[in-house]
Structure 1
């Protein structure tokens, strides 16, 4: 039967046609390949490298997430196991191990980084299912608007059966504490208790080898039922109260346990639940790791390392950090921004085929096509490198492809050596300056890193202030800071860093020798010094003479051995900074690894809906691409959509807009669009159709937030915005 025959029917119906599968979304690989359609092979290779790098980012961040959350998750597991062990007795005696009708509850304060909560709670759910109980349920506020919906989600995810809700019995179910719906198949707490008993009884009856297939190998005979409320603040307080009251009546039959995911403060529980309800919970507080500490660890492990070839420029890193600090505090979204930067880099930069591990990059450099060689010659950093060479070398680099490939291999090696020395010196400088008063170079290493990416840090006034403060440190403080620098440099395998570490150790040993020889080096106290003469009786002339001698002696005073050694070691640190913290932009072929298009990243991540809406209303041609809508700047075509005409007219009004005048102006513009004669009687006349179109356009403007109704005048609306695109 053909398609026309199957759908031609007198009666109305709903017909579903499965997609043919021919229309598929364009993959990322095709997206990258289409950036340079003339070089398909290059695009495929870049896509493969991009996939590997993203896989490394994803794997490292997940491992880092588990490592950072290990402490809090272990504490929650210990809490769950403690209460689970109290349930391992006869069902009738469960209440004897708890205060009457109390439900053990873990209040997990996760912080305001709400997008990251799902990852943490999912890890917790997986750990609980693998080591404590298989009965773990997670619910969200958006799916539990009413009590019946909350209980429905809990029952469905516990029992693994579909449960329907009849809207006609909603009022009846709201008055029932023990059953959500009478017509549904045994959807009540009693049924849930019976189901739990049957499952645990079946589990206890099977052999130990078969237990692994029923539950899990480490499950206890009476495992608890854990309900995780992912976003406690989003739940309706009344729904939550009723659910807790219902569950408290079944603590003797069902071992329940709650976990509250809290974004703000533990006081939220007291604000949402009255004392009569909160007293039914045995609450223990857990605090997760700060999101700023999490971000610092992610940046330290992913960006501040030479093992990861992809790099961010200072402005791009500032965009990502600014979104984190001023929008959502979400490390997960920060990683998504990093993924977007990675994708944009491999899409826009054809030479990103060299942004990979050392061996693969050198092999790719040997097999570069003539087109890629020309791209290398056009790089600003490579052009500066060519200009710095001898004339004969310049000719060869501009004419010989093989010479460019050989030079490219050398420059790629130099770029990796640069990164190997860059990050240890950066950490060394941060360890010295992070504890100084007022943090002249920043408290976090990311602040110092951004400064080093944007300009030569030793040329800044902040660096001069930091050096002055370091020259005022006492010996113990300075030796402790130098020891931290030595520990940082020792972890680096680069030869230059090994030598620098050895040099710092020698300085530390010299400081220690000053202590042992300080007693012998002290000269005898000069009792005839000007300072001592002040203690004797004298007249005004001798007092003035003595003060002048003291001032002169201070000018010509020699530095102590400690001051000399301190200046020497700080000069050594400054030489390391000037040598190894040069700008990445000064390194040849830095464009291969560094993504610097901060405007592209900001455009994708920093949404500006108001500007986009105003642009669409003022210049509809930009979106509709209709030639009839092309107009001069500041005008709107009479053929534009109604909302564009109404928006343009409202820009000409003041704070209060008279609806009748607005309607007449709209009707005049629409009449011109219809081609009516301006001299005719119907020109500008308001009919029912125009009136309806006008009301709809005004309603849309009100929905978008441009106007609102006002009580000052009944036939007016108030304007909420000023200016336009």
Structure 2
């Protein structure tokens, strides 16, 4: 519906009688978009349950890792507020020269993770220390009055006027009067609210005192304007005798930032204490250990996908939060694109789903690469059964699912044992972090690598106390295991430890495997040059054929046992049938969604508009663009055919020719390729957009030319 009128007006249109399309929920969209929707609801519910588990476990890990730091910070705040009970005298005696207690909270460069830390800090403050805790960010404090206004509004819960004069309301209607934007107004409000609470002490029973502190948290300290911070600190220092203020600076880089941003005259007004959080790499190691290196979590990542997530973490943002988001994205993609992901759940449910599989589901199982490899290894009679009998395939699938769970229960304890043995070796041949060893084990047979051979050679040089300490660590790792293989392995390792300890009572001669003879006895006899040479050669040969000591034999036996465990339990997941049920292996999708390349996306959109617009008229051969494409696409394609400098008039004429063909005009007509005002305006707009995107720029070499900033074809 449209109207044509030269005057402004209000036009009323009756709503259409057609029913509006009902909004589709997330679950319905997931089910409708699944490749096979027979188990779409079950897949969505399982995906949602695992998604919530990832989120909950991550928050709990974050709280546990920050607990020590937050406890120290809370103790610091409580200590600063103990003397502010009944007046300002005790507080003034505590604070030298009007110093404001300040906590410098160094959180690291992983800025996206800071919100979780500050949220935990605010919750703890609200629960046990003070109800007067506010947080401010630099983007909302462009001036001092904005900072004052935000602090007062969030503390008082009422509107704050940044103007000095209050407007009078003569309408007779009661309107809550705004508070002036000053610290003195905050002091008056604080005294009024604390005196009121004194009459009802039960309301403040959870806090450390009846005069709780006022805590101001600067989340991104480095991003604030230094002048705004200086003025705010100077103003607050004048009221420290009346108001128990405490500052918390969230610092991402270094504590020296405070001295760089604040002059000595201002920083001397702060009583600063430093608090350091754990590094983001330690956070990541804990998250990987609890969410990925465990058999309790059925969803797994392939080596390439895990490598993509770790690379984004190490080379882009150091954000554990974004790493977890990438893990959640992989989880969603897996359950959305893999029909058999319905089996990526608890053991009992998975076995029930297999029993209810239809013929179509069984056919999907037969087309799995791992199942096809399994069929190729069987005799012809068994192959016929696997390819023709659905019931037989269901029985085999149930066995595969059980074996896959046993594989994971044995895999991770042996992986941790191997890491504990090799993590202290020189130059870390198998990696400094367990995630590096895990990726190597996922990619290939780790025992076939040169790094593994180097690690085993170094392990065969360990002293007795070192090898015993390493075996004790392995015993501690295997104790929680419940499988028969791990219990048997635990018993063998304990026996090796006992046998090593029994070597303490042996003599030095026995441990060395030979009698201790002075090497100079044979050489002290008088002899000629021939006999001397013969004696030296015999001594050299005896060294080569020296018998191994009992300790060396036992050490080699123990390491051979561990080597056998590695070869039997650390095989890559691709060797396990039905591994596609649990393992997500689409690293390209993760890289495309998480590691954005805006320049490539823009060039794809301009050179191949059908990729985004999905208009059939825009389909063309490779290297060409349709004349019906948007103006900016046509202009972009034409500029690729030019040199370093582009003549604007020639460019405009070429554009007019292409658009005339799109309008269906006769090439022999006079108007074909003619530049009119409309085409000229459209062309100028398209060129301006290209200049904004950084493809061309104006140049002073020639006034009617622009310089091209790209090279090559589309």
Structure 2 length as normaliser, TM-score?
A: 0.90
Q: Deviation at 1:297?
A: 0.7
* 2:96 alignment partner, SS class: coil
Q: Deviation at 1:129?
A: 0.9
Deviation per CA, 1:58-91, whole angstroms, max 9, x where unpaired? 2211111111111111111111111121322313
Q: Deviation at 1:535?
A: 6.3
* 1:200 alignment partner, SS class: helix
Which residue of structure 1 lines up, in the alignment, with residue 471 of structure 2? 482
Query: Which of 78, 96, 101 is 1:81 aligned to?
Result: 78
Gap change, CA 1:465 and 1:668, over 3 Å in 2: same
Q: Deviation at 1:376?
A: 2.0
Gap change, CA 1:628 and 1:414, over 3 Å in 2: closer
Query: Which of 516, 519, 523 is 1:525 aligned to?
Result: 516
Q: Distance in 2 between matches of 1:682 and 1:547?
A: 107
Query: Which of 26, 29, 33 is 1:31 aligned to?
Result: 29
Whether the aligned pair in 2 keeps the contact of 1:134 and 1:216 (CA below 8 Å) is: no
- Range with bigger deviation, 711-720 or 503-512: 711-720
Whether the aligned pair in 1 keeps the contact of 2:161 and 2:181 (CA below 8 Å) is: no
Q: Deviation at 1:132?
A: 0.6
Query: Which of 423, 426, 430 is 1:434 aligned to?
Result: 423
The within-5 A match list for 1:146-165 is 146-163=143-160
Gap change, CA 1:95 and 1:668, over 3 Å in 2: farther
Q: Distance in 2 between matches of 1:664 and 1:372?
A: 60
Gap change, CA 1:377 and 1:194, over 3 Å in 2: same
Q: Deviation at 1:711?
A: 5.3
State yes or no: 1:457 paired with 2:454. no
Gap change, CA 1:266 and 1:459, over 3 Å in 2: same
Whether the aligned pair in 2 keeps the contact of 1:489 and 1:497 (CA below 8 Å) is: yes
Q: Distance in 1 between matches of 2:155 and 2:21?
A: 38
Which residue of structure 2 lines up, in the alignment, with residue 174 of structure 1? none
Whether the aligned pair in 2 keeps the contact of 1:458 and 1:577 (CA below 8 Å) is: yes
The within-5 A match list for 1:521-600 is 521=510, 523-527=514-518, 532-534=521-523, 540-600=529-589
Q: Distance in 2 between matches of 1:702 and 1:274?
A: 43
Whether the aligned pair in 2 keeps the contact of 1:658 and 1:717 (CA below 8 Å) is: yes
Q: Distance in 2 between matches of 1:79 and 1:538?
A: 83
Gap change, CA 1:279 and 1:664, over 3 Å in 2: farther
Query: Which of 192, 198, 201 is 1:204 aligned to?
Result: 198
Which residue of structure 2 lines up, in the alignment, with residue 332 of structure 1? 321
Q: Distance in 2 between matches of 1:244 and 1:716?
A: 54
* 1:326 alignment partner, SS class: helix
* 2:271 alignment partner, SS class: strand
Deviation per CA, 1:351-394, whole angstroms, max 9, x where unpaired? 22211112222232223233322222222222333344454444
- Which structure 1 segments of 5+ residues have no match? 171-182
Q: Distance in 1 between matches of 2:383 and 2:651?
A: 71
Q: Distance in 1 between matches of 2:675 and 2:603?
A: 27
- Which structure 2 segments of 5+ residues have no match? 166-176
State yes or no: 1:311 paired with 2:305. no
Gap change, CA 1:109 and 1:558, over 3 Å in 2: same
* 1:106 alignment partner, SS class: strand
Q: Deviation at 1:663?
A: 4.4
- Range with bigger deviation, 473-482 or 676-685: 676-685
Q: Deviation at 1:683?
A: 6.4
Which residue of structure 1 lines up, in the alignment, with residue 636 of structure 2? 647
Q: Deviation at 1:284?
A: 1.0
Structure 1 length as normaliser, TM-score?
A: 0.89
Whether the aligned pair in 2 keeps the contact of 1:676 and 1:683 (CA below 8 Å) is: yes
Query: Which of 459, 464, 472 is 1:470 aligned to?
Result: 459
* 1:158 alignment partner, SS class: helix
Deviation per CA, 1:438-493, whole angstroms, max 9, x where unpaired? 11111111111111111111111111111111112222222211211121112212
- Range with bigger deviation, 595-604 or 663-672: 663-672
Q: Distance in 2 between matches of 1:535 and 1:89?
A: 94
Query: Which of 90, 95, 99 is 2:96 aligned to?
Result: 99
Q: Deviation at 1:307?
A: 1.1
Gap change, CA 1:551 and 1:524, over 3 Å in 2: closer
Q: Distance in 1 between matches of 2:225 and 2:544?
A: 75
* 1:361 alignment partner, SS class: helix
Query: Which of 180, 188, 200 is 2:182 aligned to?
Result: 188
Query: Which of 397, 411, 427 is 1:408 aligned to?
Result: 397
Q: Deviation at 1:672?
A: 5.4
Q: Deviation at 1:662?
A: 4.1
Whether the aligned pair in 2 keeps the contact of 1:31 and 1:347 (CA below 8 Å) is: no
Which residue of structure 1 lines up, in the alignment, with residue 286 of structure 2? 297
Q: Deviation at 1:427?
A: 0.5
Which residue of structure 1 lines up, in the alignment, with residue 46 of structure 2? 49
Whether the aligned pair in 2 keeps the contact of 1:133 and 1:224 (CA below 8 Å) is: yes
Gap change, CA 1:643 and 1:144, over 3 Å in 2: same
Q: Distance in 1 between matches of 2:492 and 2:130?
A: 57
Whether the aligned pair in 1 keeps the contact of 2:158 and 2:178 (CA below 8 Å) is: no
